Structure 1
Amino acid sequence: MKRRLRALAAGAAFAAAGAVGTTSAAADALVAGVEASFPPWAYVEDGEYKGIAIDAMRAIAEDQGMEVEFKDLPWPSLIPALAKGRIDLLVTGLNITQERNEVLDFSIPWWENDDEVLVAEDSDLNVVTALCCGATVGAQGGATQFQWLEDNLAANDDVGITLRSYEDYVTAVEDMGAGRLDAVVTSTDTAEDFIAKDRPVKIVGTIQQNQPQALAVEKGDPNEILGKLNAGIMNIYESGQWAEIVKEYSPQSTIRSIPTTMPDYVDAYEEPIPGYSD
């Protein structure tokens, strides 16, 4: 299977196994866009990329004989960069939605998530008062949590919240600690990661979403890598490597069966599914 390989300018990409920003990309490497401030899925520690999605992508690449380089981009620019072919795939905790399906193709889903309402550890707010009646609520701009809050709460004058957009959830939680936010709404695994790392926050409620998450490629899969991603996902899952990666970064998480729920509207899931059905 041939694909068009994209050379990268030296210094513009990051080594998959090395220090961030210190190694130029190999000419035959796939460029994987990440948001490196989204624990436990992708983040930087001691100059290296770490996280569930990072280690899983490295394992998939090794399993399928691919080379991959990670490129850190702000969340709002990741999907447009992939849709325009500036990166080859998107590797992070990406929720599958109908809107995103218009411009991206998804791998088989490897995770499902709900959303959690976080408040400061010493806050008296509950799940109702944190999301109404003059509360200021933060979420990541462009994320499904922000969209849900905007559509269901901020647009309703009777609810009365002020919604603030953040580039990443780390900054949002820091702002809440400084008293500039009453609550932050984020995914379950990210909320649990903040608590596991002793951030002074607590969960006061869950918004049931059952959002499937997956890797993504450019619409139409011009590089013909979707089948390899699907096959690699299944191989690391069936070998137990996926469970080891998840437990390393999120020991409190339950390992879900892969694939998780496949939404009917995702055309890349039509039979036969590359790398999965065959």
Structure 2
Amino acid sequence: MKKNLLIVLLISMVAILAACGGGDKVIVGTDAAFAPFESLDGEEIVGFDVDLLAAVMEEAGLDYELNNIGWDPIFPSLKNGSIDIAISGITITDERNEEYDFTRPYFESTHMIAFYEGTDIKTATDLEGKVIGVQTGTTGQFAAESIVGELNPDLQLFETTALALAALKQGNIEAVVTDIAVAAEFVKNNPDDNVQLVSDAENFEAEYYGLMIADGSELKETLDKALTTVIEDGKYAEIYEKWFGTSPDVETLLNQQ
């Protein structure tokens, strides 16, 4: 009887310790279809966001697990607590700030129009009358809608930006509106395809990415402090140069709140 009681107590203690250990791990969600920020190399998630996350979590002293859960599930997963952090080239917007919290910005971006030579696009207004591809639920979609209208039948929605760019390559659509670094990566990976890129500062404003967390999350202060350190100590620049081949404007980034 005493032996059985001891076994039960040992099992209970192991369960408690396991639960405590699991609770210390921060779960991070991403959509690994947004190169060069995050993509799959075999089964491994790689990219700028991935390396930056590793540096920030190391600086913060946090154990974490990064999972590829897709774009649409990111938002409800933060709401229901399935994940603690989301990192996936997520633009900080007023609308998102109403429901979620963000860390300080870690990347400055703008939108680009990607298209093939022979398509007449000089500014964003030239998207009118073109068949356009965007990733659903992204600021790329919202930027395109601001030009051609929300219910425009020529605006095609894709689950990922990679699928939109594949449709462009196959000739199924005429243009893709996406983030500048993603568009540049597409050009780099298709050097013989005569891909053209157009920016439009008048219609596409600068925007900033942040790590997204649940509204009121206690992680914000810790992540902000770690992210600031990573930016200031040069680690951010190393990661940026690795993935983009240029030096970041750290001063502008640090001035953003």
- Give the TM-score normalised by structure 2: 0.83
Contact 1:33 1:90 in 2 (8 A): yes
Q: Give 1:46 shift.
A: 3.2
Question: Which whole-Å deviations, capped at 9, do the CAs of 1:233-264 have from their partners, x for residues lacking one?
Answer: 111111111011111111146433333533xx
Corresponding residue to 1:218 among 207, 214, 227: 214
Amino acid across the alignment from 1:250: F
SS in 1 for 2:177: strand
SS in 1 for 2:118: coil
Question: Which whole-Å deviations, capped at 9, do the CAs of 1:23-50 have from their partners, x for residues lacking one?
Answer: xx95531110111011111111132111
Amino acid across the alignment from 2:48: I
TM alignment of 1:243-258, pairs within 5 A: 243-252=237-246, 254-257=248-251, 258=253
Distance 1:143 1:260 in 2: 25
Amino acid across the alignment from 1:97: T
Q: Give 1:229 shift.
A: 0.7
SS in 1 for 2:250: coil
Contact 1:41 1:52 in 2 (8 A): yes
Amino acid across the alignment from 2:132: V
TM alignment of 1:100-179, pairs within 5 A: 100-120=96-116, 122-128=117-123, 130-133=126-129, 135-155=130-150, 162-179=154-171
Distance 2:85 2:236 in 1: 19
| 2:53 counterpart of 1:57 | yes
Question: Which whole-Å deviations, capped at 9, do the CAs of 1:184-226 have from their partners, x for residues lacking one?
Answer: 00011111111122363220333431112111110111xx211
Amino acid across the alignment from 1:29: K
Higher helix share: 2
SS in 2 for 1:204: strand
TM alignment of 1:203-214, pairs within 5 A: 203-206=197-200, 207-214=203-210
Contact 2:127 2:147 in 1 (8 A): no
TM alignment of 1:1-278, pairs within 5 A: 28-120=24-116, 122-128=117-123, 130-133=126-129, 135-155=130-150, 162-198=154-190, 200=193, 201-206=195-200, 207-221=203-217, 224-252=218-246, 254-257=248-251, 258-262=253-257
Contact 1:108 1:214 in 2 (8 A): yes
SS in 2 for 1:209: coil
Distance 1:79 1:30 in 2: 16
SS in 2 for 1:259: helix
- Give the TM-score normalised by structure 1: 0.77
1:19 equivalent in structure 2 = none
Distance 1:155 1:28 in 2: 43
Q: Which moved more, 1:248-257 or 1:164-173?
A: 248-257
Q: Give 1:89 shift.
A: 0.5
Change (3 A) 1:78 1:127: farther
SS in 1 for 2:230: helix
Contact 2:37 2:49 in 1 (8 A): yes
Change (3 A) 1:27 1:250: same
Distance 2:174 2:122 in 1: 11
RMSD in angstroms over aligned alpha carbons? 2.2
2:11 equivalent in structure 1 = none
2:3 equivalent in structure 1 = none
Larger radius of gyration: 2
